[in-house]
Amino acid sequence: MTALLVVLGAAVGAPLRYLVDRAVQARHRGLVPWGTFAVNVVGSLVLGALAGAGSVLPGPVCALVGTGFCGALTTYSTFGYETVRLVERGARRHAVGYVVLSVVAGLGAAALGFAAARALVG
């Protein structure tokens, strides 16, 4: 049953990742892959909130949302690939900035989600 919930969550997360990435990139021309940045930060926020509320959520919800949805929404491999592509294009400063901003924003979003969920569930 858990595997099915993961698949269902991923079936929503993966297409949403694609659609958000395309929508964001269509509005932001340039070297920085803002679409990947956006899905990774949003996924970090959701996963942080899930972790913060984890004590009151049943395991199946964590599998559906955490492993399935967030696992398919966020993408470390694309983040790594796009960073390498920036370096290959000679945009080393963009690459370093993208990595630093992604890590700081992702951790900040996860911490914010965690704190907000903890405040709500007590």
DSSP 91: -
What is d(CA 83, CA 98) in angstroms, rounded to the nearest whole number?
Answer: 7
The answer to the question of whether 74 is labelled as a binding residue is: yes
> Phi/psi at 104 (nearest 5 deg)?
-65, -45
Which three-class secondary structure string do you get for 26-83?
A: HHCCCCCCHHHHHHHHHHHHHHHHHHHCHHHCCHHHHHHHHHHHHHHHCCHHHHHHHH
What is d(CA 109, CA 2) in angstroms, rounded to the nearest whole number?
Answer: 27
Binding-site residues from annotation for Na(+): 71, 74
Binding-site residues from annotation: 71, 74
